[in-house]
Structure 1
Amino acid sequence: MDSRAGTRLRESLERRQIALYLAALAAGFLAGAAVPGSQALDLFISPAIALLLYATFLAVPFTRIRAGLLDLRFLGLLMVLNFVLVPVLVFALSRFVAHDAALLTGVLLVLLAPCIDYVIVFSALGGAAHGKLLAATPLLMIAQLLLLPFFLWLFTSGSVTGIIAPEPLLEALVLLILLPLAAAAATQLLADRRPSFRRAAAAGNAAMVPLMLVVLFTVAASQARRVLDAGAALAALVPLYAVFLAVMVLIGALTGHAGGLDYGSARALAFSGATRNSLVVLPLALALPEAAGTAAAAVVTQTFTELAGMALAIRCIPRLLPQPAGRASGPDLPAGA
């Protein structure tokens, strides 16, 4: 396949990615429900996510991260939104499932963790400053891994923290963040010197949508039986997740506007507040004792709900935060990047 054909294929996939993501989830769910032993695919979730995050980090221009991190107003509002305002809403919503420790653990795990992967896709489709979210990705991931144990302890009065071992958190930090981040940085550094690394960088950027499809299919197939077994209990989570998404879109938009951000940065804030890190926290839920296995199904249910909601969010957020008349699209990173 020549480069022009490859470019056309990549652009075609990117234009249709939301529909493709939903199709991958549906296909994975049907396959997992029909094929015995599909839960064994659990073993492939973390490696697939690590590859996806490597491709995601390859899209971060490391020479420009410093400029992105110098936008202290955006970063400050991003952290306040995700680690102050979101927890307040999550605490209120989680009271509806506080009677079930497994469901409560799953809801808290997924809703307290801001997304670091497909939020970049959705924010780009919604005309947001997705480059700023890319630059903030490592910071968001490290912050949530450090703060999750504290919030779990706080919101459950310590009742579930004893079943969450620190090893999965450390493993997620090393295998899903530090190693992919270091590999992406090394690839970019060597791309200027060696054609093989330049080709690897280009292939990584082109592979983001296919890798996301693989991850979503694998997640849905491996968790289909758990979701079916939990049944009615998970159905009650769908409106809870939908309310979270809708409210956080509004809070994110208001926070960005009140903070004096440009429309692109304010949109990025709204997308970050609304999207959650279900793919990365799923391995944490799977590491829980079998008695809390419903937690993993609760995480997957959020993925289904969120991806469906994002199809609406990419249309609603630009209307809540319209581009000023007569202005071209704003920069992804601050001036001087």
Structure 2
Amino acid sequence: MLLLPLYLWLFIGREAVNLIETTPFAKAFFGLIVVPLIVAIIIQKWGINAKVGSRLIQLSGWLPVPFMAITLFVVVASQISKLSGSFYWIGKVIPIYIAFMVIMPFISKTVGKWLSLDVPTTRSLIFRGSTRNSLVVLPLALALPSEVGLLVAAVIITQTIVEIMGELIYIKVIPDLVLRD
């Protein structure tokens, strides 16, 4: 995240400086990334030392799935009407995302063999390597000026949807075809 301005400058050039409005970007970054990260670290540290915290961590292990579904639903519902002008670009990125989802299991399997990982750990590597937390950067995309921000949001939402569909396919394909016990 700290290198994002540098990446934007490398890819876009001087125009990148004009694209990012500092105040909304900083608010989104600190409010939606830094603060939750600090809270998570505190809960995990507390969970290691306290019986109640340990139980809280165990109980919360299943929460990411429903929270991700709720988040995706809310994000798509709130942004869908604004995305109609982005279908051309969405169509351009979908094949890239699909190609990544097809290639990544084989790369992860190779890394798993190289590191002598067991089958469950290699499967975990495949699933984790094939998805990114793109919704985390969505607030930062929405902090961009409206035209660019909407396009970036459309691309991020599309990536998340393709990844979720890919993960559903992975559940069947990875154990049966790519990495058997």
TM-score after normalising by structure 1? 0.45
Rate the CA distance shift 1:198–1:320 in 2: closer, same or farther, 3 A: closer
Rate the CA distance shift 1:266–1:210 in 2: closer, same or farther, 3 A: closer
State the alpha-carbon separation in 1 of the partners of residues 101 and 119 from structure 2: 20
Match of 2:2? 146
- Post-superposition Cα deviations, 1:157-200, rounded to whole Å, max 9, x if no partner, equal 4543541345556545533344334334444527836x6x6776
Quote how far apart the aligned CAs of 1:233 are: 3.2
CA contact (8 A) 1:244 1:274 kept: yes
Alignment of 1:281 onto 2:151? no
- Post-superposition Cα deviations, 1:122-146, rounded to whole Å, max 9, x if no partner, equal xxxxxxxxxxxxxxxxxxxxxxx13
The RMSD of aligned alpha carbons is: 3.0
State the alpha-carbon separation in 2 of the partners of residues 179 and 220 from structure 1: 24
TM-score after normalising by structure 2? 0.76
Alignment of 1:183 onto 2:57? no
Match of 1:192? 50
Alignment of 1:246 onto 2:98? no
- Post-superposition Cα deviations, 1:59-92, rounded to whole Å, max 9, x if no partner, equal xxxxxxxxxxxxxxxxxxxxxxxxxxxxxxxxxx
Q: Which moved more, 1:220-229 or 1:244-253?
A: 244-253
Return the structure number with greater relative CO, CA threshold 8 A, min gap 6. 1
Quote how far apart the aligned CAs of 1:222 are: 0.9
Rate the CA distance shift 1:150–1:261 in 2: closer, same or farther, 3 A: farther
Identity among equivalent pairs (%):
37
CA contact (8 A) 1:163 1:289 kept: yes
Q: If each structure's helix is expressed as a fraction of its own residues, which one has the higher value?
A: 2
Structure 1: runs of 5 or more not aligned: 1-144, 324-337
Name segments (4+ residues, structure 1) moved above 6 Å. Answer: none
- Show the 5 A alignment for 1:202-281: 204-205=60-61, 207-281=63-137
Q: Which moved more, 1:233-242 or 1:169-178?
A: 169-178
Quote how far apart the aligned CAs of 1:282 are: 0.8
Rate the CA distance shift 1:148–1:316 in 2: closer, same or farther, 3 A: farther
Structure 2: runs of 5 or more not aligned: none
Rate the CA distance shift 1:309–1:251 in 2: closer, same or farther, 3 A: same
CA contact (8 A) 2:127 2:167 kept: no
Match of 1:301? 158
- Post-superposition Cα deviations, 1:218-249, rounded to whole Å, max 9, x if no partner, equal 11101101222323332232222111221222
CA contact (8 A) 1:256 1:269 kept: yes
SS of the residue corresponding to residue 147 of structure 2 reads helix
